[in-house]
Structure formats: C-alpha cells, structure tokens
C-alpha cells in the first residue's frame, strides 16, 4: 500500500457518494421535508394543547421535535463529507506515491486515510440515510483517523520530499 489503493478507493467512493446524493437525498427531499414539517407541526400542536402529565412526556415530545430538526441536515452532511473524504483519499494517495519514506510508513498512512473515510462519512451515511443510528457512535474513530492522517502526512512530507538539486 503505497497510496495507489487510496486513489482507487477515492474515485470509487466519490462515485458512490455522488450517486447517493441525487438518488437518495434529492428525489425524496420535497416529500420528506413536507412530511417532517407536518409531523413537527402536529407534535407542536399536541405539545401546546395537551397538558403533559409528567416531565418525561414533555421531554419525549421535545426529543421528537429536535430529531426532526436535525435529521435532514445530517443527511446533507454525510453527502458532503463523503465527497470531501473521497477527494482527500485521492490527494493523499498522490502525495504518498511521491514521498521517499519507508513503505511501512506509507502503508500506515494509507490505512489511516481509508479508515477515516469509512468510519466518518461512511458511518454518517449509515446513520442518516439508512437509519442505522448505532453508526453515529463510530464517527469519532473516523474523525480522529483523518486528523492523524493529515498530521502524519505532514510529517512524512517534511521528511520525504527531496530537495531539488541545483
């Protein structure tokens, strides 16, 4: 793994995220938005009209409203992060191919960027688009991996870019 796998993964993942945008998010947008607004309005009306018998009922209604406000932007975030992380893998792959560093260091950086994309935007897709909410708990792994990959590639670039001889 010298960066080539990141370039291949990046282009395939970019195609995947590009296809998921229009096919999953856009066609359902107006219908989903209308349904969410209608549900939020209904829940708001029930919340105003009903006298909750306990604090837990009021909290449950508030949680539903909060979820409806957050669900739509999270799907957009998955799409944009997926595109950016695909491009990041392509860029990282090109940089890794050009660096004069040990192969084991290249392989480590390559894996870190792959893990970053899969565990960050990949888990955002699973949670927001496919409603597998447990996946949100794993996004922190991807975020940390991406930051580690960027720092590691910065160090590798400092070490591995050879000066041009005059």
Beta-carbon count within 10 A of 130 CB: 13
Query: Taking 90 as the threshold, does the pLDDT of residue 103 lie above it?
Result: yes
| pLDDT grade for 91, boundaries at 50, 70 and 90 | very high
pLDDT of 48 reads 66
Share of the chain above pLDDT 70, in %: 65
Note the pTM of the prediction, 2 decimals.
Answer: 0.69
Burial of 9 by CB count in 10 Å (0-12 exposed, 13-18 middle, 19+ buried)? buried
**pLDDT tens per residue across span 61-86:** 666 656 555 555 555 677 788 899 99
To which residue do tokens 């080539």 refer? 4
Measured in whole angstroms, how far is the alpha carbon of residue 20 from the centre of its chain? 13
**pLDDT tens per residue across span 43-60:** 666 666 665 555 666 666
- Alpha carbons 32 and 154: distance in angstroms, whole number: 42
**pLDDT tens per residue across span 116-162:** 999 999 998 888 777 888 999 999 999 999 999 999 999 999 999 88
């Amino acid at each position: 793994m010298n960066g080539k796998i990141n370039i291949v993964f990046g282009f395939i993942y970019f195609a995947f995220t590009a296809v998921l945008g229009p096919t999953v998010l856009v066609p359902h947008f107006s219908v989903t938005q209308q349904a969410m607004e209608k549900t939020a309005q209904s829940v708001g009306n029930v919340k105003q009209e009903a006298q909750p018998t306990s604090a837990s009922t009021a909290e449950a209604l508030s949680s539903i409203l909060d979820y409806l406000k957050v669900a739509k932007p999270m799907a957009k975030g998955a799409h944009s992060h997926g595109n950016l992380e695909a491009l990041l893998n392509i860029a990282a792959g090109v940089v890794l191919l050009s660096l004069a560093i040990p192969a084991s260091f290249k392989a480590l950086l390559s894996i870190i960027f792959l893990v970053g994309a899969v565990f960050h935007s990949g888990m955002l897709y699973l949670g927001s688009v496919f409603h597998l909410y447990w996946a949100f708990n794993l996004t922190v792994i991807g975020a940390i991996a991406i930051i580690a990959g960027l720092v590691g590639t910065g160090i590798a670039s400092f070490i591995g870019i050879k000066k041009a001889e005059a």
